[in-house]
């Protein structure tokens, strides 16, 4: 920290932190990766299938992370979708790590929602273009407090999301095609993961449209819950 204080930046660096259960410390946000099509039922509802040969990743920027209980409904979309996901927080540096060693890098877990501008994503897919504008907008990754659970691989637990009290998504983490240790191992082959990095692990079936005024409640067994309202 003292070394950072001696550096002369043109303007103050932007550092975002995530709240942790039973701690006053904040988890500093680094890189954010998301795996696509990790539940067979969701892949099917989106007209695709799980690729067991190679997982597919995309990323979100730090400004997508929010822990606010009210979120402004985003602009430039007529079809905003919810996607509830288990989120993994990295607490130790790892590169080209083996599956059996992947647990060593885990700091904890959280409940996240990958808000998606489905209309923009569909256009990008059709034209073979990146998904950045449909996935990486401000506050597109609401997230719960982190449950610190170091060096533990979660393999099961109910994952649910409701909109205005009506259940829309319900599954179990055991239905993930690529498990947490596999995801970490695969991603680390291509890029070094550092403390502060975050991985969204995919969503089950039941994704759907959200509207201004909607109340979203999500939970994962043995992890926690997340609630926010679109205003």
Domain boundaries, the chain: 28-230
Indicate the average pLDDT of the chain: 95
Q: Which of 9-13, 137-141, 166-170, 221-225 has the lowest mean pLDDT?
A: 9-13
pLDDT of residue 107: 98
The answer, yes or no, to whether residue 231 has pLDDT greater than 60, is yes
Residue 77 · residue 120 · CB < 8 Å? yes
pLDDT of residue 48: 77
Give per-residue pLDDT as tens, 27-38: 999 999 999 889
Give the confidence band of 50 by pLDDT, cuts at 50, 70, 90: confident
The hierarchical CATH code for the domain 28-230 is 3.90.850.10
Q: Which of 51-60, 84-93, 125-134 has the lowest mean pLDDT?
A: 51-60
pLDDT of residue 4: 64
Give the confidence band of 2 by pLDDT, cuts at 50, 70, 90: low
Q: pTM value?
A: 0.95
Name residues whose C-beta falls within 8 Å of residue 44's C-beta, 6 or more positions apart in sequence: 205
- Report percent pLDDT > 90 for the chain: 86
The answer, yes or no, to whether residue 73 has pLDDT greater than 90, is yes
Strands 209-210, 224-230: pairing is unpaired
């Amino acid at each position: 920290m003292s070394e950072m204080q001696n550096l002369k930046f043109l303007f103050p660096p932007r550092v975002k932190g995530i709240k942790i259960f039973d701690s006053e410390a904040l988890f500093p946000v680094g890189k954010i990766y998301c795996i696509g099509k990790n539940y067979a039922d969701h892949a099917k509802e989106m007209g695709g299938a799980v690729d067991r040969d190679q997982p597919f990743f995309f990323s979100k920027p730090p400004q997508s992370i929010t822990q606010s209980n009210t979120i402004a409904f985003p602009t430039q979309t007529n079809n905003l979708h919810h996607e509830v996901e288990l989120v993994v927080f990295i607490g130790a540096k790892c590169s080209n790590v083996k599956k059996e060693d992947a647990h060593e890098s885990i700091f904890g877990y959280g409940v996240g929602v990958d808000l998606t501008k489905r209309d923009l994503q569909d256009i990008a897919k059709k034209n073979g273009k990146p998904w950045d504008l449909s996935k990486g907008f401000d506050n597109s990754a609401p997230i719960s407090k982190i449950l610190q659970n170091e060096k533990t691989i979660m393999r099961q637990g109910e994952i649910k999301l409701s909109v205005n009290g009506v259940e829309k998504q319900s599954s179990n983490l055991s239905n993930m095609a690529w498990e947490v240790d596999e995801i970490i191992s695969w991603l680390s082959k291509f890029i070094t993961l550092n403390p502060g990095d975050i991985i969204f692990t995919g969503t089950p079936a039941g994704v759907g449209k959200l509207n201004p005024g909607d109340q979203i409640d999500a939970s994962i067994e043995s992890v926690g819950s997340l609630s926010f309202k679109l205003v």
